[in-house]
C-alpha cells in the first residue's frame, strides 16, 4: 500500500511524521499489508531532505525512490543526485527497500548507475510511472523499452496516469508484471465517471486478473516476490 498524507485543514499534501503515524499504526495493528511510504515531497516546493524523508522514521518495508527530476504538477519535481544518494543511504541503513519510480528512461539509467556504485542493492524493484504530461507516454512501446532495460532479476510494476490507467494495467498484466492502481494516479473509474474510493480500482483489477488467470498475491506471497522476507 503506497501512502501519502494531507493536512486536514487544507487538503494539501505534506510530509508530517505525526500524520503518517496516525495512518500507519492502526493499519499495522489490523492488517498484514506491505506499506510503501512516500519520500516524494511536494512538486515545486524545495523541502529540506529531513522533511522529505520523515516517513522513514516509521521503518516501512518499502518507500518511494524517485530516480530523477521532471516537470510535474506545474513545478519541478526535484530529485538531484545528492538527495538520491542521501535517500539511498538512509534506506539501506534502515533496511527499507526502495520502490524505484521511473518516469522516463533516464531515471532507469540513473538507478542502474547507482546499483553499479553499490548505492542501491539488488534485486531492484521498479515502479514505471507512465503518462504524466512531460514524462514517458503510457504506450506499449514505452513499457516494452523499459522492460528490456531492466536487470533480469528485477521485479517491476506499472502505473498508467489518467487515460493510461487501464491500458497500462492490462499491458503490465499480460507481460507478467505487477499493477498499481488508485486515485493518486487516476480519479476516473471510467470515462466521465469519477471514482468514489480506491477500493473500486483494487476490486476491478483483482477481478480482471483472476479472469485472465493470474491469482492475486497475498501479503506474505508479495513479500517473497519482492525479496522482503
Q: Which residue has the cell 538531484?
A: 80
Q: In this structure, what DSSP letter does residue 61 have?
A: S
Specify the pLDDT at position 73: 80
Q: Using one digit for the tens of pLDDT, what is the confidence trace for 108-147?
A: 999 999 999 999 999 999 999 999 999 999 999 999 999 9
Higher per-residue confidence, 46 vs 176: 176
The pLDDT mean for the chain works out to 95
Q: Is the pTM of this model over 0.85?
A: yes
Mean pLDDT of the region 198-219: 96
Nearest to 214 by CA among 175, 157, 159: 175
Whether 105 contacts 145, CB under 8 Å? yes
pLDDT of residue 91 exceeding 70: yes
Specify the pLDDT at position 56: 97
Distance set, CA 135 to CA 107, 171, 219 (Å)? 11, 18, 31
Q: Using one digit for the tens of pLDDT, what is the confidence trace for 31-78?
A: 999 999 999 877 657 788 999 999 999 999 999 999 999 998 888 899
Nearest to 136 by CA among 154, 118, 109: 109
**Whole-angstrom Cα distance, residue 19 to residue 217?**
29
Specify the pLDDT at position 43: 61
What is the domain extent for residue 149?
2-226
Specify the pLDDT at position 153: 96
Specify the pLDDT at position 23: 96
Whether the bond between 123 and the residue before it is cis, its omega within 30 degrees of 0, is yes
Higher per-residue confidence, 10 vs 132: 132
Q: What's the pLDDT band for 175 if we cut at 50, 70, 90? A: very high
Q: How far is CA 56 from the centre of its chain?
A: 15
Specify the pLDDT at position 44: 59
**Number of domains comprising the chain:** 1
- Spatial strand order in the sheet of 36-37: 2-3, 36-37, 62-66, 97-102, 125-130, 155-160, 178-179
Identify the CATH number of the domain in which residue 188 sits: 3.20.20.70
Whether 62 contacts 35, CB under 8 Å? yes
Lowest mean pLDDT among 5-19, 136-150, 161-175: 5-19
Beta partners for residue 155, in sequence order: 125
Amino acid at each position: 500500500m503506497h501512502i501519502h498524507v494531507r493536512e486536514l485543514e487544507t487538503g494539501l499534501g505534506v510530509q508530517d511524521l505525526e500524520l503518517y503515524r496516525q495512518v500507519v499504526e492502526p493499519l499495522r495493528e489490523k492488517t498484514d499489508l506491505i506499506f510503501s511510504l512516500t519520500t516524494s515531497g511536494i512538486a515545486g516546493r524545495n523541502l529540506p531532505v529531513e522533511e522529505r524523508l520523515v516517513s522513514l522514521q516509521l521503518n516501512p518495508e518499502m518507500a518511494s525512490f524517485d530516480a530523477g527530476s521532471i516537470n510535474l504538477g506545474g513545478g519541478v519535481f526535484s530529485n538531484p543526485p545528492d538527495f538520491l544518494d542521501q535517500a539511498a543511504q538512509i534506506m539501506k541503513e534502515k533496511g527499507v527497500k526502495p520502490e524505484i519510480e521511473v518516469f522516463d528512461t533516464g531515471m532507469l539509467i540513473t538507478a542502474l548507475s547507482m546499483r553499479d556504485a553499490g548505492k542501491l542493492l539488488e534485486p531492484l524493484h521498479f515502479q514505471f510511472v507512465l503518462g504524466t504530461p512531460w514524462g514517458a507516454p503510457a504506450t506499449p512501446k514505452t513499457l516494452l523499452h523499459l522492460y528490456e532495460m531492466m536487470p533480469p532479476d528485477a521485479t517491476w510494476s506499472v502505473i498508467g496516469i489518467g487515460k493510461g490507467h487501464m491500458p497500462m494495467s492490462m499491458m503490465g498484466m499480460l507481460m507478467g508484471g505487477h499493477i498499481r492502481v488508485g486515485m493518486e494516479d487516476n480519479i476516473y473509474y471510467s470515462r466521465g465517471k469519477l471514482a468514489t474510493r480506491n477500493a473500486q480500482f483494487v476490486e476491478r483489477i483483482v477481478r480482471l486478473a483472476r479472469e485472465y488467470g493470474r491469482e492475486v498475491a497475498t501479503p506474505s506471497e508479495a513479500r517473497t516476490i519482492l525479496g522482503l522476507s
